[in-house]
Amino acid sequence: MFNEIHLDNNLTIVYNRLSHLKSVSLGVWIGSGSRNETADNNGISHFIEHMVFKGTKNRTSKDIASEIDNIGGQINAFTSKDCTCFYTSTLDSDIDIAVDVLSDMLFNSLFDVEHIEKEKLVVFEEISMYEDDPEELVNDLLTEGVWSDGPLGYPILGTRKSVANITRETIFEYMADHYIPDNCVISVVGNFEKEYLIDLLQGKFGSWKPRNYCRFFPEQPKFKSHYIYKEKGTEQTHLCLGFRGFPMKDRRNYALMILNNIIGGSISSRLFQKIREESGLAYSVYSFPSTFRDCGMFTIYAATNPASAQKVISEICREIEKFLKHGISEAEFIRSKNQLKGNYIIGLDSTTAQMVSMGKSKVITGVVKTAADILNDIESVTPDEIMETARWVFDGRYMGIAVLGGTPLSEPCPDQYI
């Protein structure tokens, strides 16, 4: 059961005490990510995520790593479209060290000019790494095409040009606008004494000065149907089909997650069984939903021999058409619902997974659901709701296709579906 409190500076803390454990995960969430950027500073959220590990007034970069390593803990961070998170996992007895290190990184980072220029080279290499990963690259192509009219389509890492433009001054300007208590959530899961935790956070974060903050919500993105092809010297052709999804708070996401398990979210799914097991057309084929503050997307990915790419697209669309026409079987419905519930319950065994779920939900949507509420929402989904969701998602008027490889598709949008 989670609890929520607010410090005097409006900083929100959500926590779940699990006294039977010997560990604790703590995350500091900033409610801004790549979609809060401009074309000129694209990548700055991710760049700041890197830079806070490069040294503070009290610790060198090596000190930060060593202090957590010395207690057998973990420290990391990530940036998404909607938020940025800095987090630790440590023994419960070392929570004071975790809070001290994270607060020092956020409030006392030096952002040394020499380190900034050096870290740009690191990010350039990270961009190159993603460009060498066709699975990641084709997903980015799809996202950039579908949301091409706004910042949701920006790459999280930025571009080489936009990252090169980042300066110490632009970092401070961005942090002044976004790194403030009203735009932050601290999420804590594991074993701790509540009073000690609150005193600890008050001592390290309570002096963080609040200020009037109008959270920047970009204009709601419009899903843009498109076909995009990028030539790349790969052995396989990599395909992504994108359809409309739902915002994070939309209850239809539970029906969509069950639908995902049926379509391509597991090895018993229709696409895996048809395209890999029966036809042998692909080694990797799967689907997944993505949710954002105000919209979402449902993606299907496959990698195949270039000569089979057109057939794989056709088979995917044929399976969708078959599902829309004939519906869901009772066995599929029960299996997929149980799969979703089981995966969720297993995930509750991880303090980090719980911390991420609570923090992400609170900083993006403003609410956190209990495990019981989520399981009840999953259980309440009906076959009719799944079919209604499928008809909305698989509306051929809203479909993006991204192709990466040596040969473009001859028919990007098969007639039997669109």
Is the pLDDT at 64 greater than 90? The verdict is yes
Containing H/E element for 159?
Answer: none
Task: Identify whether the C-beta of residue 152 lies closer than 8 Å to the C-beta of residue 81.
Answer: yes
| DSSP symbol at 206 | T
Tell me: the pLDDT tens digits for 320-333? 999 999 999 999 99
CA-nearest of 155, 149, 291, 153 to 222 is 149
Q: How confident is the model at residue 147 (pLDDT cuts 50, 70, 90)?
A: very high
Tokens of 44: 């700055």
What is the spatial distance between Cα 61 and Cα 50, in angstroms, rounded to a whole number? Answer: 11
Q: What is the pLDDT of residue 214?
A: 62
The pLDDT value recorded for residue 412 is 67
Question: Is pLDDT at 258 greater than 70 in this prediction?
Answer: yes
- pLDDT in the model for residue 63: 98
Single out the residue of 4, 12, 42, 413 nearest to residue 241, CA to CA.
413
- Distance CA(412)–CA(317), nearest Å, equals 11
Q: Above 70 in pLDDT, residue 413?
A: no
Q: What's the rounded mean pLDDT across residues 196-205?
A: 98
For the chain, the distance separating the N- and C-terminal CA atoms, rounded to the nearest angstrom, is: 46
**Residue 409's pLDDT is what?**
84
pLDDT above 90: residue 417: no
Question: Two tokens at 82?
Answer: 């909607």
Range 264-291 average pLDDT: 98
Q: CA torsion sign, 215 to 79 to 247 to 131?
A: positive
Interhelix angle 330-347/252-263, rounded to 10 degrees, is: 110
Residue 217 has pLDDT above 80, yes or no: no
Q: What does the block give as tokens for 314?
A: 């056709």
User: Catalytic residues, which ones?
Assistant: 49
Residue-wise pLDDT for 279-325, tens only, equals 999 999 999 999 999 999 999 999 999 999 999 999 999 999 999 99
Predicted local confidence at residue 218, as pLDDT: 61
Mean pLDDT of 67-72: 98
pLDDT at 273 over 50: yes
- d(C-alpha 292, C-alpha 135), whole Å: 21
Q: d(Cα 33, Cα 223) in Å, to the nearest integer?
A: 20
Question: Is 60 exceeded by the pLDDT of residue 416?
Answer: no
Q: Is the pLDDT of residue 241 over 90?
A: yes
Cα 63 from Cα 67, distance rounded (Å): 6
pLDDT at 215 over 90: no
Domains in the chain, CATH or no CATH each: 3-205 (3.30.830.10), 226-405 (3.30.830.10)
The reported pLDDT for the residue numbered 1 is: 78
pLDDT band, residue 415 (cuts 50/70/90): low
The values of phi and psi at residue 378, to 5°, are -65, -45
CA atoms within 13 A on the CB side of 410: 8
Q: Are 153 and 37 in contact (CB under 8 A)?
A: no
Element (H, E) at 302: strand 296-304
Q: How confident is the model at residue 3 (pLDDT cuts 50, 70, 90)?
A: very high
- When pLDDT is cut at 50, 70 and 90, the band that residue 149 belongs to is confident
What is the Cα–Cα distance from 45 to 48, expressed in whole angstroms?
5
Report how far residue 295's alpha carbon sits from residue 299's, in angstroms, rounded to the nearest whole number.
14
Q: Are 74 and 88 in contact (CB under 8 A)?
A: yes
In the prediction, which pLDDT does 233 show?
94
Average the pLDDT over each of 120-124, 190-194, 336-340, 410-414 and give the range with the smallest value.
410-414
Average pLDDT, the chain: 95
3-state SS, residue 291? strand
Q: What is the per-residue pLDDT across 367-399, written as a single tens digit (0 to 9) for each?
A: 999 999 999 999 999 999 999 999 999 998 999
The edge-to-edge listing of strands for the beta sheet with 237-244 is 226-231, 399-405, 237-244, 296-304, 282-291
